Amino acid sequence: MKLYYAYMTSSLRPRWLLEELAVPHELVHLSLAAGDHKRAEYLEIHPHGHVPALVDGALVVTESAAICLHLADRFADRGLAPALGSPARARYYEWIMFAMTALTQRVVDVYHRAYFGPPERRAETATDDERAALAQLLEPLARHLERHGHVTGEGFSAADIVLAGVLEWARVSGQLRGCAAVEAYLERVRARPAFQRASAD
């Protein structure tokens, strides 16, 4: 199993999950600055040139959330996806979709401005209005986490990895200040040894 990854992308999510699963794998770093993701050999794997991409035997899976869903089901015995058809599985899908749609849409513009925008604007973090808008969006999540600890209500899962991956973008770009319950949740899952290994470099 081989994961193609790059820094400052959503690659941390599948890297983290692979560490949680303790699955033997090879990591292939792509330098976006050097254009590795646009080279012909990588475009054969991912025609859009996006990162990450997972090669699992003859199967190629792209999109970080799809990779996480695939891996959690592929190694279902590791317990990182709730049982199919269960209420927890519905919550699992629900929060993954929230992370990849509404939350990403709210977070990504500020994150890109802080890290990929014009040099004169890269030091900027979220404005008060942007933080307030995110806090409002996260209010239902905060209430849920105060009751359940993790998003499925049945312990840590791949859904927490996908969600925390987006929340990490919010954290590093100054958007999470004031969301105490969500900050505490993110701090807790970031303390997991698998996260520490996946983010070590």
State phi, psi for 139 to the nearest 5 degrees.
-60, -45
Give the DSSP letter of residue 38.
Answer: G
**What is the pLDDT at residue 118?**
67
**What is the pLDDT at residue 63?**
97
Tokens linked to 184: 């505490």
**What is the pLDDT at residue 76?**
97
Give the DSSP letter of residue 50.
Answer: -
* Domains assigned to the chain: 2-78 (3.40.30.10), 87-192 (1.20.1050.10)
| Residues 6+ positions from 47 with CB-CB distance below 8 Å | none
| Residue 128 in this model has a pLDDT that exceeds 90 | no
Lowest mean pLDDT among 21-35, 110-124, 140-154: 110-124
State phi, psi for 50 to the nearest 5 degrees.
-90, 160
| Residue 20 in this model has a pLDDT that exceeds 70 | yes
**What is the pLDDT at residue 175?**
87
Prediction pTM value = 0.93
Split at pLDDT 50, 70, 90, the class of 117 is low
* Ordered strands of the 59-62 beta sheet: 26-29, 2-5, 53-56, 59-62
Segment 185-194, tens digit of pLDDT: 999 999 999 9
Can you give 117-157 as a three-state secondary structure string? Answer: CCHHHCCCCCCHHHHHHHHHHHHHHHHHHHHHCCCCCCCCC
**What is the pLDDT at residue 127?**
81
Q: Is 182 left (phi over 0), alpha (psi -120 to 50) or beta?
A: alpha
Segment 39-62, tens digit of pLDDT: 999 999 999 999 999 999 999 999
CA angle, 63 then 65 then 70, to 5°? 95
**What is the pLDDT at residue 109?**
84
Average pLDDT in the 87-115 region? Answer: 91
Split at pLDDT 50, 70, 90, the class of 119 is low
CA–CA gap between residue 196 and residue 198 (Å, rounded): 6
